Amino acid sequence: MQTQEHLFIGGDWVAPSTTDTIDVISPHSEQPIARVPAAAPADVDRAVAAAREAFDHGPWPRLDPKERVAIVRKLAERYEPRREEIAQLVTSEMGAPITFSRSAQARLPGFMISALTDVAAEYPWHETRSGALGADVGVHREPVGVVAAIIPWNMPMFLTVAKLVPALLAGCTIVLKPSPETPLDAAVMAELLAELGLPPGVVSILPGGRDVGRYLVSHPGVDKVSFTGSTAAGREVAAACGSALRKVSLELGGKSAAVVLDDADPEAVATGMTVAGLMNSGQACVAQTRILLPRKRYGEFVDALASVVEGLAVGDPFDPATRIGPMVTFRQQQRVSSYIDQGKAEGARLLVGGPGLPDGLDRGWYIRPTLFVDADNSMRIAQEEIFGPVLSVVPYSDDDEAVHLANASEYGLSGSVWTPDIDRGLNVAHRIRSGTLGINQPYSMDPAAPFGGVKSSGIGREFGREGMEGFLDVKSISIAPAATPDSGAARRSSTSSPAGESGGGS
């Protein structure tokens, strides 16, 4: 069993403040595979103090953004040789099928580091605007401060990169809390960061549970909380930040709809749903587990879906043939299982899968890939985020009803429209209230474009310029007309970088 003795605080591996540990359990074998220290409040205090010092007095926020870009590019280079190791670690700690771990859990973050760095390289950090009152105004984007970044277990390296990289590029200092289920890939990120030669205090990584998360988001030394997790926890985080008037962005849950129009190809839709609805064994915030099918060709689409879901290989996540791995924890298996019971009790027709372990498996936190049809959109299986391999099909009569049903949800994170008629698809997509949508594909999270939710799916955006802006404050500096253009340090060109005591240097 792998053991880790130290916590990564402010760039150093240090002894934890307590002897508390986290056992990482394989969801496939149900056996412990690693033990790591559990961060305690005293470790959070230490990490936030280091981040505060690095932000208030250290060089990182004051570097020219180009210098930060150059350092973060080194992270992209160093990440690549560790990719396979990261894929293996993520599969062992949370059970993602290895093919998904290689492609999405491990490869995408490497790609994202480069793409997000490109965004920063082209970002307009400073601009001068012709003021409406006659004088020019300098508009400067400055790092927001000490960032508390909290992530869930389902896409651990992907979500680490989504927060850490733009925060670093912006000039922030960061305390990242990974989930207790997935601390192992985070330790690899700590090793990579230690090789970059960042100034002391810039990054700490503290695995721990929700109590240490609560302590971190309420810490007076934190300027901004960037949270990804469930909507229930997001509400609590938002409340804590609200009372402290602390900036917060929230990437929360979803119950996204795949809207299948009546001219779509049933085979293409059914194959697409194995990704759109069932990627990461259904443990994806963007999972489109509500499938809206036209009554006109209902039978054709249902048959195609049933045959694809029935054929999905379930089992050992390290087997490259596996498409559906175990749920992350026993608790998650029980939760998904209870939704299957709920769907039956609510009167949806269970067509594929159902309760119990998949054939041939007598251990591991597995769920049979399950397809409910004839569901009503108001049923709990169509309204609540199940976070497992359970699809609910809801029939509709025309495009207007499809749009109405897609919007009849408290969430608005993702979604898709399936049709060969792109204009028709775009028309439907524009009428759906959601932060992201794909046409004939699940929305492919593009690091160049903003990602995030509306309604109970969150506040704020990650990726693209908009994601970078989540880690920036904007400062306007005007100069009295009598002053000469060069006399004010605030009047900057877009290529120069201010320096200052309070983190204004980027």
Is 106 or 402 the residue whose CB approaches ligand NAD more closely? 106
Min CB(211)–ligand NAD separation in Å:
8
With respect to ligand NAD, which residue has the nearer C-beta, 50 or 159?
A: 159
Quick check: 10 and 51 in contact, CB under 8 A? yes
Residue 30 a catalytic site member = no
Cβ-based nearer residue to ligand NAD, 450 or 453: 453
* 65 vs 207, beta carbon nearer ligand NAD: 207
What DSSP string runs through 211-266? Answer: HHHHHHHT-TT-SEEEEES-HHHHHHHHHHHHHHT-EEEEE-----EEEE-TTS-H
Backbone angles phi, psi at 246, to 5 degrees: -105, 140
Nearer to ligand NAD, 44 or 413 (CB): 413
Burial class (CB in 10 A: 0-12, 13-18, 19+), 236: middle
CB 117 within 8 A of CB 169: yes
Tokens of 358: 């998949």
Between residues 209 and 354, which has the closer beta carbon with respect to ligand NAD? 209
- Cβ atoms of 199 and 50 closer than 8 Å: no
Closer residue to ligand NAD (CB): 198 or 386: 386
* Shortest reach from residue 150's CB to ligand NAD, in Å: 5
Rounded to a whole number of angstroms, the minimum distance from the CB of residue 236 to ligand NAD is: 4
Question: CB nearest ligand NAD: which residue?
Answer: 213
Distances, alpha carbon 124 to alpha carbons 121, 141, 392, 493, 497, in Å: 9, 8, 45, 10, 12
Q: Nearer Cβ to ligand NAD, position 142 or 185? A: 185
We find the least distance from the C-beta atom of residue 332 to ligand NAD, in angstroms, to be 8
CB 61 within 8 A of CB 171: yes
Pairing outcome for strands 2-3 and 32-37: parallel
Smallest separation, CB 218 to ligand NAD (Å): 8
Q: Would you call 251 a catalytic residue per the annotation? A: yes
- Residue 403 in tokens: 């749009």
Question: From the candidates 285, 385, 462, 469, which is the catalytic residue?
Answer: 285
Report the candidate in 443, 402, 427, 415 with the shortest Cα–Cα distance to residue 298.
Answer: 402
Q: Least distance in Å: CB of 300 to ligand NAD?
A: 31
Residues that bind ligand NAD (CB under 6 A): 150-155, 177, 179, 209-210, 213-214, 217, 228-230, 233, 236-237, 251-254, 285, 385, 387, 413, 453, 458
Closest CB 207 distance from ligand NAD, rounded Å: 9
Please name the amino acid found at residue 398. D
Buried b (16+ CB within 10 A) or exposed e, 26-63: bbbeeeebbbbbbbbbebbebbbbbbbbbbbebebbbb
What number of other Cβ atoms are within 10 A of residue 421's Cβ? Answer: 14
Q: In what order do the strands lie in the sheet with 126-130?
A: 126-130, 136-143, 472-478
The pairing of strands 247-251 and 173-177 is unpaired
Contact 202, 186 (CB under 8 A): no
Closest approach, Cβ 305 to ligand NAD, in A, equals: 23
The distance of Cα 486 from the centroid of its chain, to the nearest Å, equals: 44
- Give whichever of 26 and 154 is closer to ligand NAD, judged by the CB atom: 154
In angstroms, what is the minimal distance from the CB of 456 to ligand NAD? 10
CA atoms within 13 A on the CB side of 452: 23
Which of 142, 181, 251, 462 does the annotation list as catalytic?
251
Cα distance between residue 68 and residue 170, in whole Å: 8
Active-site positions? 251, 285
